[in-house]
Amino acid sequence: MTAYTMAEMAAQGKNPEILFWVGCAGSFDARAQKITRALCEILNHAGVEFAILGNEERCTGDPARRAGNEFLFQMTATMNIETLNMYGVKKIVTACPHCFNTLKNEYPELGGNYEVVHHTQLINELIVNGKLKLKEGGDFKGQRITYHDSCYLGRANDVYEAPRALLESLDVDLVEMKRSRKNGLCCGAGGAQMWKEDEPGEKRISLERIEEALETNPVAVVANCPFCITMLQDGLKAKERNEQIPVYDLSEMILSRL
C-alpha cells in the first residue's frame, strides 16, 4: 500500500488530483484502519494519483459542532482550511460520511471550497469509466446481503444510488431492510452520540437497527461509515451473532474482486 503525504508531494513539485481525507476513525480505530488500507489499494490499483495530509490532518470538527461546541468547531475547521488551501486542494475523497458532510456542506462558509466525494461515489465512478475492472464471480456473488444507509450520506446528502450500484457490480442478492433510503434508521452514533453514555430508554438504537437487519436473514451486513460499522457490530455482539454475520465496508468487498 502506497500513500504519500501532501508535504512529500509538494517537496517533489507535485500536486495530486485527489486528497484522501482519512478522518479520526480511519486513522486511529483498528477496524476503520482496514477500510483506509482498502481504499488506498483500490486507488493505487486504478492508477489514481492521491495523497493524505498525515500529521497535518485534524478532526473536521463535526463531533464538536454536533455536541454544541461551536467555538471548537470553527477553530478546528479554520486550521484545516488553511492547510488545505495552502496545498491548493481541489478534490477530496473520504470514507467517513461525517467528514464528507462537514467538508462538503459546512466548510464553504469558512472559506473552504472543494469538490468532496464519498469513497462509494469515487469507486463507482472508476468502475463506470473502466479504470477499475472487477473479476468475475467472487465470494459475494448471489449472497443475501442487506445494506445500511448512514444518515450523513443518505438523508443529509441524498447519496443512495452509488453504494447500491457497487453492490450491483458485486452481483449480490440485495435485500433491503424495512427502513431504508430516505426512511432509513440511524445506527445510534450520529450527532456526537458516539462519544457519550446512553440516555435512559428501553433499547439501544444499535440493537433496534441490527434487529431490522437480521429480519432480512443476511449472510453479511454492509455499511459505508466507520461509526455505523462499530454500532452494527456492537448490535450483533449483543445478539451473539457477530461470529456468524460480518459487517463490511463496500471498499473491502470491492477490493476482494480486483
CATH of the domain at 219: 3.40.50.2300
Among 258, 249, 48, which Cα is nearest to 163's?
249
Is residue 210 included in any domain, yes or no? yes
Q: In this predicted structure, what is the pLDDT of residue 196?
A: 60
Q: In this predicted structure, what is the pLDDT of residue 137?
A: 81
CB 118 within 8 A of CB 100: yes
Pick the last residue of a domain from 90, 125, 160.
125
Residues 17 and 50 both lie in one domain: yes
Is residue 130 included in any domain, yes or no? no
Task: Give the CATH number of the domain where residue 39 resides.
Answer: 3.40.50.1860
Residues 173 and 77 both lie in one domain: no
Residues 121 and 52 both lie in one domain: yes
Boundaries of domain holding 155: 135-255
Residues 80-116: pLDDT tens digits?
999 999 999 999 999 999 999 999 999 999 999 999 9
Residues 64 and 167 both lie in one domain: no
Residues 21 and 94 both lie in one domain: yes
- ∠ at Cα 101 (112, 213), nearest 5°? 165
Among 248, 238, 246, 227, which Cα is nearest to 66's?
227
Pick the last residue of a domain from 102, 125, 148.
125
Residues 93 and 179 both lie in one domain: no
What integer is the mean pLDDT of 223-244? 90
Confidence of residue 189 (pLDDT cuts 50, 70, 90): low
Q: In this predicted structure, what is the pLDDT of residue 201?
A: 73
Residues 14 and 118 both lie in one domain: yes
Residues 41-79: pLDDT tens digits?
999 999 999 999 999 999 999 999 988 999 999 999 999
Confidence of residue 194 (pLDDT cuts 50, 70, 90): low
Pick the last residue of a domain from 91, 125, 159.
125
Q: In this predicted structure, what is the pLDDT of residue 184?
A: 84
Is residue 165 included in any domain, yes or no? yes
Residues 148 and 231 both lie in one domain: yes
Residues 49 and 143 both lie in one domain: no
Residues 246 and 161 both lie in one domain: yes
Residues 175 and 115 both lie in one domain: no
Whether 180 has a pLDDT exceeding 90, the answer reads no
Please tell me the total count of domains within the chain: 2
What integer is the mean pLDDT of 18-29? 96
HEC profile for the chain?
CCCEEHHHHHHCCCCCCEEEECHHHHHHCHHHHHHHHHHHHHHHHCCCCEEECHHHCCCCCHHHHHCCCHHHHHHHHHHHHHHHHHCCCCEEEECCHHHHHHHHHHCHHHCCCCEEEEHHHHHHHHHHCCCCCCCCCCCCCCCEEEECCCCCCCCCCCCCHHHHHHHHHCCCEECCCCCCHHHCCCCCCCCCHHHCCCCCCCCCHHHHHHHHHHHCCCCEEEECCHHHHHHHHHHHHHCCCCCCCCEEEHHHHHHCCC
70 grid coordinates: 461551536
Cα 152 vs. chain centroid, distance in angstroms? 10
224 grid coordinates: 459505508
125 grid coordinates: 465512478
Q: In this predicted structure, what is the pLDDT of residue 200?
A: 78
